[in-house]
Amino acid sequence: MDAAYDNDNIFARILRGELPAHKVYEDDATLVFMDVMPRADGHALVIPKNPSRNVLDIEPRDLNAVLATTQKIARAALKAFDAEGILIQQYNEAASGQTVFHTHFHVIPRWADTALRPHGGEMADPEVLKAQADKLRAALA
């Protein structure tokens, strides 16, 4: 992989506070916020604070931190949304479906009778995302 990290990608801009996000959780190494184009209710994104394009170039310590936070958010999402399961997705490079080139994991609550919305589909209502972020934060407490 020869592609370089782009410091102006949307997630880097969220980390710098240049763009808004419905934040759920933050620690020294990771940030969690709601996906603005959710595949299901409660769809959150977990990102490292340090720059990396994806799993192919992330530092192991950052990957460990992201995975620990992903597990924490998955458990909270299961509880907060009364989900039957949790889908965790992670894409690496454009051919896999990656559209934002900053490492991120999708944490998506799932129910057997509910189809997923398309990846990169419609923008969600900001008030709905705010309410879902509130539910996730409450489940983390």
Backbone angles phi, psi at 85, to 5 degrees: -170, 175
* CATH assignment at residue 29: 3.30.428.10
**Token digits for 95?**
């051919």
Is 4 a member of any domain?
A: no
Our answer to whether residue 102 is catalytic in this structure is no
Q: Is residue 2 part of a domain?
A: no
pLDDT at 120: 84
Give a yes or no: residue 134 inside a domain: yes
Domain around 95: 10-140
Catalytic residue among 43, 102, 104, 106: 104
**Average pLDDT for consecutive 10-residue bins of the chain (141 residues)?**
86 97 98 97 98 97 98 98 98 95 98 93 95 98 91
Q: Which pLDDT value is given to residue 115?
A: 95
pTM of the model: 0.96
Q: Is residue 5 assigned to a domain?
A: no
Domain count, the chain: 1
Domain annotation covers residue 18: yes
Task: Answer yes or no: is 123 within a domain.
Answer: yes
Q: Is residue 90 part of a domain?
A: yes
Inside any domain, residue 3: no
Which pLDDT score is estimated for 121? 87
> What pLDDT is attached to residue 103?
98
Please enumerate in sequence order all residues whose Cβ is within 8 A of that of 46, keeping only pairs 6 or more positions apart, or say none: 30, 31, 32, 66, 69, 70, 73, 104, 105, 107
Q: Which residues contact 56 (CB under 8 A, 6 or more apart)?
A: 1, 92, 93
